[in-house]
């Protein structure tokens, strides 16, 4: 087939860094698997438009738009705008001259359908399966940690009678917690990673939930070693790990009646901290490179789905580097 002028422009133009990154992602993302899941779940019907109806936007374009949103921290209107504006985005999405660029409403409705059927979690799972098949997830232990994700606080105001009322639009499942003397409002993202910082599991809770409550769920499949900060330490947990033959890499803290840690505890903490700190790589990338610092949705259920998509995007970003490292 002869290339059009549009196709030639798509082939030779685009930002150097974004083009390289998106070309890598285009080859890595298991689009065929994901589209098959959407067809099975009735989200995407490729036959629509072949029988004279209005053609639907290809599922690959809509899925790709979700990845772009999260890598570049874009709203729905900005996603639509930048797909129109950036050749690198259109090339990543395989948009041809005949394809219609999805508008912000189409992107929003598509994402909400996936959230409703819990398919963003399936995307995370499929990305993880792809990484396991490529031997990119290490089986040398599990690292666990949690981070706070902010959401808007209820605004206090007074009605005409002087009675204090709050904004009904705020997330009723979000709660307050305190960290290093500062007040935070929102949810928590709990993760388990391998010893390279690749995310293996994600759990969303409200902010006031203690980190350690999700320890068992995050580590249920681990049989070798577990590393975590001192917030996860307890006598019962140490006994349980010893009983299961799992190496205990949880940083220890002083207990009641102990003025300072024993020399052995200090040595172990220093040794464990080097490995445990690798879990921070995932949070650093999501918060600083993807600008994931605030919840986009109301309620734990919807945020659980979004957390999984963000984690999938973060893992995908690691794939080229890991493939080079493992040859």
Mean pLDDT for 310-326 is 94
Boundary-marking domain end, from 61, 88, 117: 117
| pLDDT surpassing 50 at residue 10 | no
- Please check whether residue 153 lies inside any domain of the structure: yes
Q: H or E element: which one contains 21? A: helix 16-28
pTM exceeding 0.85: yes
- Read off the DSSP letter of residue 294: B
Q: How confident is the model at residue 96 (pLDDT cuts 50, 70, 90)?
A: confident
- Read off the DSSP letter of residue 33: H
Give yes or no: residues 183 and 81 share one domain.
Answer: no
Higher-confidence residue: 145 or 160? 145
Mean pLDDT for 116-136 is 96
Which residues contact residue 20 at a Cβ distance below 8 angstroms, ignoring those fewer than 6 apart?
none
| pLDDT surpassing 60 at residue 6 | no
Tokens 């994700």 locate to: 149
Q: Work out the mean pLDDT of the chain and round it to a whole number.
A: 88
Q: How confident is the model at residue 13 (pLDDT cuts 50, 70, 90)?
A: very low
- Please check whether residue 105 lies inside any domain of the structure: yes
For position 180, which CATH number holds? 3.30.420.10
pLDDT digits (tens, 9 = 90+) for 227-275: 999 889 998 999 999 999 999 999 888 777 777 888 888 888 888 888 9
Q: b/e for 249-270, b at 16 or more Cβ within 10 A?
A: bbbbeeeeeeeeeeeeeeebbe
Q: How far apart are CA 268 and CA 73, in angstroms?
A: 39
Q: How confident is the model at residue 52 (pLDDT cuts 50, 70, 90)?
A: low
Give yes or no: residues 220 and 271 share one domain.
Answer: yes
Please state which of the ranges 23-32, 95-104, 277-286 shows the lowest mean pLDDT.
95-104
pLDDT digits (tens, 9 = 90+) for 208-217: 999 999 999 9
Please state which of the ranges 2-11, 213-222, 230-239 shows the lowest mean pLDDT.
2-11
Which residues contact residue 204 at a Cβ distance below 8 angstroms, ignoring those fewer than 6 apart?
187, 188, 189, 190, 300, 303, 304, 307
pLDDT digits (tens, 9 = 90+) for 288-304: 999 999 999 999 999 99
- Please check whether residue 132 lies inside any domain of the structure: no
Give yes or no: residues 186 and 257 share one domain.
Answer: yes
Give yes or no: residues 248 and 142 share one domain.
Answer: yes
- Please check whether residue 124 lies inside any domain of the structure: no
- Please check whether residue 292 lies inside any domain of the structure: yes
Work out how many domains the chain is built from and give that number: 2
Of residues 310, 267, 261, the one with CA closest to residue 289: 310
Q: How far apart are CA 242 and CA 132, in angstroms?
A: 28
- Specify whether the CB–CB gap between 212 and 180 falls below 8 A: no
Give yes or no: residues 201 and 260 share one domain.
Answer: yes
Give yes or no: residues 109 and 248 share one domain.
Answer: no
- Please check whether residue 270 lies inside any domain of the structure: yes
Give yes or no: residues 199 and 98 share one domain.
Answer: no
- Specify whether the CB–CB gap between 292 and 310 falls below 8 A: yes
Give yes or no: residues 149 and 219 share one domain.
Answer: yes
> Could you list the residue range(s) of the whole structural domain that residue 149 is in?
138-325
Give yes or no: residues 302 and 235 share one domain.
Answer: yes
Q: How far apart are CA 216 and CA 231, in angstroms?
A: 14
3-state helix, strand, coil in the chain (%, to 5): 50, 15, 35
Q: How confident is the model at residue 51 (pLDDT cuts 50, 70, 90)?
A: low
Please give the pLDDT value at position 5: 45
* Sign of the torsion angle spanned by Cα atoms 225, 230, 231, 235: positive
Q: How far apart are CA 305 and CA 54, in angstroms?
A: 30
Mean pLDDT for 27-34 is 95
| pLDDT surpassing 60 at residue 50 | no
Give yes or no: residues 250 and 108 share one domain.
Answer: no
- Please check whether residue 130 lies inside any domain of the structure: no
Give yes or no: residues 152 and 231 share one domain.
Answer: yes
First to last CA, the chain: 36
pLDDT digits (tens, 9 = 90+) for 164-204: 676 665 888 999 998 888 889 999 999 999 999 999 999 99
- Please check whether residue 133 lies inside any domain of the structure: no
Mean pLDDT for 97-105 is 84
Of residues 266, 303, 45, the one with CA closest to residue 188: 303
Give yes or no: residues 57 and 169 share one domain.
Answer: no
């Amino acid at each position: 087939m002869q290339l059009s002028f549009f196709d030639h422009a798509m082939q030779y133009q685009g930002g150097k860094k974004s083009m390289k990154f998106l070309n890598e992602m285009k080859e890595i993302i298991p689009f065929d698997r994901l589209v098959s899941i959407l067809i099975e779940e009735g989200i995407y019907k490729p036959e629509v438009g072949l029988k004279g109806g209005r053609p639907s936007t290809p599922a690959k374009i809509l899925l790709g738009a979700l990845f772009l949103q999260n890598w570049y921290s874009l709203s729905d209107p900005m996603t639509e705008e930048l797909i129109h504006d950036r050749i690198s985005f259109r090339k990543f999405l395989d948009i041809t001259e005949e394809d219609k660029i999805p508008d912000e409403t189409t992107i929003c409705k598509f994402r909400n359908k996936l959230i409703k059927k819990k398919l963003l979690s399936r995307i995370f799972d499929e990305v993880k399966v792809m990484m396991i098949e490529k031997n990119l997830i290490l089986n040398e232990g599990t690292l666990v940690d949690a981070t706070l994700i902010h959401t808007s606080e209820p605004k206090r105001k007074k009605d005409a009678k002087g009675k204090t009322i709050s904004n009904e639009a705020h997330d009723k499942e979000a709660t307050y917690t305190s960290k290093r003397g500062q007040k935070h409002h929102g949810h928590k993202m709990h993760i388990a990673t391998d010893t390279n910082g690749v995310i293996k599991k994600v759990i969303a809770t409200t902010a006031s939930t203690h980190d350690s409550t999700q320890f068992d769920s995050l580590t249920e499949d681990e049989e070798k070693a577990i590393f975590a900060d001192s917030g996860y330490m307890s006598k019962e947990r140490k006994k349980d790990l010893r009983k299961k033959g799992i190496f205990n890499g949880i940083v220890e803290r002083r207990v009641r009646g102990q003025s300072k840690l024993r020399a052995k505890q200090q040595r172990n903490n220093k040794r464990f901290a080097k490995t445990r700190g690798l879990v921070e790589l995932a949070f650093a990338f999501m918060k600083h490179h993807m600008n994931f610092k605030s919840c986009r949705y109301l309620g734990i259920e919807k945020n659980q789905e979004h957390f999984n998509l963000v984690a999938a995007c973060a893992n995908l970003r690691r794939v080229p580097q890991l493939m080079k490292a493992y040859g």
